[in-house]
Amino acid sequence: MLSFTVHDTGETIEVRDFDLVVAGYTGRDEKSVRAHIDELAAIGVAPPDSVPAFYELAPDLATQTPAISVSGPNTSGEVEPVLVRAGGRLFLTVGSDHTDRDIERDSVLESKAACPKPLGTSVIPIADLDFDALTAESTVDDRQYQHGPLTALRATTDVLALYPGKADRDLILFGGTLPLLGGTFIAGTAWTISLTVPGGATLAHAYSLA
């Protein structure tokens, strides 16, 4: 079970029986997305079956704990806006698509399935948000790793509209990420992830490798 607190109201939202999906290639500029797919193909990463791509994972990979366990030596996270659909209501939280980068060369799906997916505990109703005004940031081992607005990504509601899964199911949907500031994945040990909402509210989470 996942439990979230609605920012401002303090309402508790519980999600027990849900689908967990990580969306990839969610950039708004389709030409840039295609160019990125070609870049990955050049280093051996197979192209997705669809754009955006939807990777359905075991729900028990979603976690709100401050420590996660991974088996590979080369894993890393990325800050993402995460859509939470609970009882037909839509919320936004923050998450990290922690991924095994070695496995990724052979299978994107298996690389994502190899690692837990950390999530924050606070949510904001999506109806209250201007997605383009949100700012995302991550750090790894106290170094800034990602930072910028979400304007280059499809809004999470737009990604949801393209998802072919069941509309009556509760859902945790990771919506894509920003470029890395240094351009290179860092296999660190401690991460912070945050989405800052205009007006000062921040959805944040911190986790480390166990």
Whether a cis peptide bond, with omega within 30° of 0, leads into 52 is yes
Residue 34 has pLDDT above 90, yes or no: no
Q: Name the strands in the sheet holding 190-196, side by side, starting at the edge strand that comes first in the sequence.
A: 67-68, 202-209, 190-196, 135-140, 143-149
What is the residue whose two structure tokens read 């095994």? Answer: 100
Residues 66-83: tens digit of each pLDDT: 999 999 999 999 999 999
**Amino acid 43: pLDDT:** 66
Four-point Cα dihedral 29, 35, 38, 43, nearest 10: -110
Give me 23's structure tokens.
């969306």
Which CATH number goes with the domain that contains 98? 3.90.850.10
pLDDT tens by residue, 128-180: 899 999 999 999 999 999 999 999 999 999 999 999 999 999 999 999 999 89
Domain that holds residue 67: 2-209
Looking at the structure of the chain, the number of domains it has is 1
- DSSP alpha helix (H) spans, the chain: 30-42, 101-104, 108-113, 156-162
pLDDT (tens digit per residue) in 40-62: 777 677 888 889 999 999 999 99
Nearest to 97 by CA among 142, 40, 158, 55: 55
Judged on CB neighbours under 10 Å (0-12, 13-18, 19+), 84 is buried
With CA atoms as reference, report the closest residue to 203 among 95, 83, 88.
95
Q: Is the pLDDT of residue 31 over 90?
A: no
C-beta pairs of 147-152 under 8 Å, 24+ apart in sequence: 147/178, 147/181, 148/178, 148/179, 150/81, 150/178, 150/195, 151/28, 152/27, 152/28, 152/29, 152/178
Residue 44, classified by CB atoms within 10 Å of its CB into exposed (0-12), middle (13-18) or buried (19+), is: exposed
| pLDDT, averaged across the chain | 94
